[in-house]
Every structure is written in C-alpha cells, then in structure tokens.
Amino acid sequence: MTDRQTVKQDGSDMSDGEFDRQLGALLSTPGDADTAILSRAVLSQLAKNSTSASAPLGAVLSEPLPWGAGFLGLLLIGGVFGYLGSTWIAGDGLLTLLTLGDPLALLGGF
C-alpha cells in the first residue's frame, strides 16, 4: 500500500497522517535506520578532539627547546623594556642607582 498508485488514486481521500507516513516510507532507504556507524563516527571524533586538546601540554615535555627559546625571548624583551623604562622614568642619576641597589642587593648584586 505504499506504492505510487496508492498515492495517485487515493491522494485526495488519503488522510494527512497516512500521506506523511507513506512519504516517509518512500524516502527511507534500507539500512538507514542503523545508527551504529553514525554513533561510532561521532564518538571517535570526540575522542580524537579530546586527544588533540591536551597535545600542547605534552608538547612542552616532548619538545622543550622551542618552548624554552620562546620563554627566553619573552624574558629578554621584558628586560630590555624594563631597562629602557627605568632610565626614562628615573634617569641615570645616583638616586636611581640607590633605588635599584636595594632590591639588587637582595639578589646578590652590587
């Protein structure tokens, strides 16, 4: 009762529910109700995504040189800016040396 003749001949008399049911049956293909493959594919994607999300943390241990070089570069940039900033703000006078002297003395300087 799901063939085209039924749709044609009974089309006007057929209830909306019956029409929808027949159309749905027509559009379904054998095996498309099986969601196992879809489920497996989605869960695999999730597993892959969660693995790749934690990868950067692991990269610090597996490839420390580029990360170390990056941090060293940032430290150097910070040092240069700090030096320029301190001389620009306070100048090169005795007062500046005294100001910097105290904290540097704690670190073993002067």
Partner 1 sequence: MAAMARGERAGLARLIALYGTGIRRYAAQMLSVRSEAEVVAQEVFLRVWTRAHSYDPDKGAVSSWLYRITVNLCIDHNRRCGFRRFVGLDAAPEFEDEMPGVEAQLDGRQRLALAHAAIKALPARQRQAILLKVAGALSTVEIAEALGTSAGATEQLLIRARAALRAHMDLEDG
26 binding partner 1? (CB under 8 A): yes
CA angle 13, 15, 16 (to 5 degrees): 130
CA separation for the pair 7, 22 (Å, rounded): 8
User: With contact defined as beta carbons under 8 Å apart, do 67 and 59 qualify?
Assistant: yes
Q: Which of 28, 51, 87, 99 binds partner 1 (CB under 8 A)?
A: 28
- Tell me the number of residues near partner 1 by CB under 8 A: 27
Q: CA dihedral in degrees (12, 18, 22, 25; nearest 10)?
A: 170
| Residues near 53 by beta carbon (within 8 Å), at least 6 away in sequence | none
1 binding partner 1? (CB under 8 A): no
Contact flags string 42-61 toward partner 1, x per CB under 8 A: xx-xx--x------------
Closer Cβ to partner 1, 16 or 92, answer by number: 16
Interface with partner 1 (CB under 8 A): 3-4, 7-8, 11-12, 16, 19-21, 23-24, 26-28, 32-33, 35, 37-39, 41-43, 45-46, 49
